[in-house]
Structure 1
Amino acid sequence: MDRVPMTVAGHAALVEELRRRTAEERPAIIEAIAEARAHGDLSENAEYHAAKEQQSHNEGRVMEIESMLAKAEIIDVSKLSGNTVKFGATVTLIDEDTEEEKTYQIVGDAEADARAGRISISSPIARAMIGKEVGDSIEVTAPGGARGYEITKIAFV
């Protein structure tokens, strides 16, 4: 079984989503299906079909979360240290073209959110950073072309 790396916070977020989906959303969907069934003919009942579709989506996500949690390898980032970029590192980069500074934390696929500054360990930019040190330059091939970055800071928080 392949292990899925995730931070303590990412694991807690998945556990909470699983709790919400099973304890709150599942009963609400079941109630909506029962109410729609009471309206009669199911073949032309849009509310019934929408509720069944919502149930299918919810149960699929529940199975996906349970699978991720079963394979989870929880890594406490606060206990990590070092001079090289690895899972859990918060890395500050300078775009070599625009001089724009960006900060990203390298996290597991399930908790990645680029807008919040968390990028997946399997993303091209994270893969380019792994093993590098402060002062190293990396090149990332993006849809708009290759981009160059310099690593200016590595922290584990």
Structure 2
Amino acid sequence: MSKAFTRETDGDDDDDVALPPLPAGGRNYITPQGWARLRGELLSLIDEERPKVVEAVHWAAKNGDRSENGDYLYGKKRLREIDRRIRFLTKRLDIAEVADPSVHHGSDQVFFGATVTYADEEGAERTITIKGIDEAESGRGEVSWISPIARTLLRARVGDVLQLPTPAGAREIEVLRVAYPAPEAH
């Protein structure tokens, strides 16, 4: 068989990118800042990074044998990665439902976007911020709104004692503080 009709794959070329699961109803809540960050990444990929890689691949393609041309092979692989990320971001932004947490500023009830301080049975306090699936960063104390802790806390109020399901069994937690960002002045 001619090499021209074979396709080598590195195993991660799937067009159907598996999206993190959304609960029934298909809502993909995201904060305005998270939406702006994802949209900024998408526009940067489309307007800046992809054209640079296309130019590099075009240049490398003119340098002869493509089968042993590292610049060409790497460029094509990078182009597939960029295109995959563009498809992913486009799909996620299409189903995104922007929810501004500042509308709840001053409330003591937990909704999407809340920063919640709670205490566990031993009295250890933890503070988390409930964010969208595509924007939550655990290293910054952010959790997805579909995580077990967020689902337990949603709709609770300061002073409520809740049962948090864990692999070791239910644990009692108490909501101590709820805060939201202040609305932006226009």
Segments of 5+ residues of structure 1 without an aligned counterpart are: none
1:68 equivalent in alignment to 2:92: yes
Q: In 2, Cα distance between the equivalents of 1:71 and 1:60?
A: 17
**TM-score, normalisation: structure 1:** 0.86
State the Cα distance separating 1:50 from its structure 2 match. 1.5
**1:125 maps to which residue?**
149
Aligned length: 154
1:94 equivalent in alignment to 2:119: yes
Q: In 2, Cα distance between the equivalents of 1:37 and 1:148?
A: 62
**2:102 maps to which residue?**
78
% identity of equivalent residues: 36
Q: In 2, Cα distance between the equivalents of 1:119 and 1:21?
A: 26
1:24 equivalent in alignment to 2:62: no
More helix by share: 1
Specify the SS of the correspondent of 2:134: helix
Segments of 5+ residues of structure 2 without an aligned counterpart are: 1-24, 182-186
**2:164 maps to which residue?**
139
State the Cα distance separating 1:67 from its structure 2 match. 1.4
**1:34 maps to which residue?**
58
More strand by share: 1
Q: In 1, Cα distance between the equivalents of 2:63 and 2:165?
A: 56
- Of structures 1 and 2, the larger Rg is shown by 2
Specify the SS of the correspondent of 2:128: strand
Q: In 1, Cα distance between the equivalents of 2:165 and 2:139?
A: 18
Specify the SS of the correspondent of 2:26: coil
Specify the SS of the correspondent of 1:137: strand
State the Cα distance separating 1:148 from its structure 2 match. 4.4
For each residue in 1:15-59, what CA deviation from the matched residue of structure 2 results, as whole angstroms up to 9, or x when unmatched? 111111111111111122112212211112222221111111111
**2:14 maps to which residue?**
none
Specify the SS of the correspondent of 1:11: helix
